[in-house]
């Protein structure tokens, strides 16, 4: 049974700060977060400025992950994980996103409220070992890309166009080989069939994927806009 049966976290908190349970994030950054909030920021991100405490593989994979996200069109804060401050207004807006697959690192920047960053120096782990395996990191990366980007679908479409173009080039080469009698029997039909049919298949999959991507975006039903502030009262609105 909840401690406050008729209240939620949003009813009792003006500011919420989330932090990983391993406590490797810089706790000294919390007062700076609060100061940024007092200065007008609804969201304050803890950005990792030093990851020397992390293993080399994790550092390299993290950098590659953020760069891949950027290439795929996912808007996120570079080197930010889950150490952040959010105001009550930001939490209220976030609650309006009804999707089940919540990739918060990409979802929160979409809110559009005033935000800022503070430096987060990662310290050594004092106890235990990381439970975040390579499989979990790959799953997170896949969630981050597929939840916010349909560029992989368009990539398939472009590859289909490219293969069809190659089939046309190969067709010219095959005709030339037939004219000068340098083609082997059956080679021309096999080459043209492989390039052309492969290109048409990829193009068809890409076209279907574009429609599926549009359906996927509509099903998420994300707000088209977020109301930051309502100016005036009901009496003014009636006038």
Note the pLDDT of residue 33.
Answer: 92
For the chain, the average pLDDT equals 79
State how far the Cα of 239 lies from the Cα of 36, in Å rounded to an integer: 38
User: Does a structural domain hold residue 230?
Assistant: no
Q: Number of structural domains, the chain?
A: 2
Domain range enclosing 126: 9-148
Same domain, 47 and 158: no
Same domain, 194 and 138: no
Which long-range contacts (C-beta less than 8 Å, at least 24 apart) are formed by 125-131?
A: 125/22, 125/24, 125/53, 126/23, 128/22, 130/22
Note the pLDDT of residue 1.
Answer: 36
pLDDT digits (tens, 9 = 90+) for 78-105: 888 888 999 988 888 888 887 777 788 8
Same domain, 51 and 81: yes
Same domain, 170 and 54: no
State how far the Cα of 177 lies from the Cα of 134, in Å rounded to an integer: 50
Note the pLDDT of residue 35.
Answer: 92
3-state secondary structure of 133: coil
User: Does a structural domain hold residue 61?
Assistant: yes
Same domain, 24 and 125: yes
Note the pLDDT of residue 24.
Answer: 81
User: Does a structural domain hold residue 239?
Assistant: no
Q: Among 96, 123, 148, identify where a domain stops.
A: 148
Report which of 73, 66, 58, 63 is spatially closest to residue 133, judged by C-alpha positions.
58
Note the pLDDT of residue 66.
Answer: 79
Same domain, 164 and 140: no
Positions in the chain whose pLDDT score sits under 50: 1-5, 7, 237-239
* Alpha helices per DSSP H over 13-133: 29-38, 56-71, 88-94, 104-107
Same domain, 112 and 71: yes
User: Does a structural domain hold residue 3?
Assistant: no
State how far the Cα of 46 lies from the Cα of 122, in Å rounded to an integer: 10
Same domain, 49 and 136: yes
Q: Among 148, 163, 190, identify where a domain stops.
A: 148
User: Does a structural domain hold residue 237?
Assistant: no
Same domain, 133 and 180: no
Note the pLDDT of residue 154.
Answer: 86
């Amino acid at each position: 049974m909840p401690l406050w049966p008729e209240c939620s976290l949003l009813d009792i908190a003006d500011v919420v700060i989330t932090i990983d349970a391993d406590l490797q994030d810089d706790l000294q950054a919390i007062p700076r977060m609060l100061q940024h909030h007092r200065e007008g920021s609804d969201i304050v991100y803890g950005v990792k400025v030093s990851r020397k405490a992390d293993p080399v593989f994790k550092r390299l994979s993290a950098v590659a992950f953020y760069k891949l996200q950027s290439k795929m069109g996912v808007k996120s804060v570079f080197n930010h994980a889950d150490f952040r401050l959010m105001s009550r207004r930001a939490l209220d807006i976030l609650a309006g996103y009804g999707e089940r697959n919540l990739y918060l690192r990409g979802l929160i920047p979409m809110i559009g409220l005033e935000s800022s960053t503070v430096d987060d120096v990662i310290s050594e782990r004092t106890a235990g070992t990381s439970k975040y395996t390579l499989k979990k990191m790959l799953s997170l990366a896949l969630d981050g890309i597929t939840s916010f980007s349909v560029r992989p679908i368009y990539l398939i479409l472009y590859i289909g166009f490219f293969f069809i173009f190659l089939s046309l080039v190969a067709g010219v080469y095959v005709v030339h080989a037939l004219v000068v009698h340098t083609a082997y029997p059956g080679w021309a039909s096999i080459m043209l069939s492989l390039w052309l049919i492969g290109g048409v298949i990829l193009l068809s999959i890409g076209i279907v994927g574009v429609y599926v991507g549009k359906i996927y975006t509509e099903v998420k039903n994300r707000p088209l806009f977020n109301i930051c502030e309502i100016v005036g009262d009901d009496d003014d609105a009636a006038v």
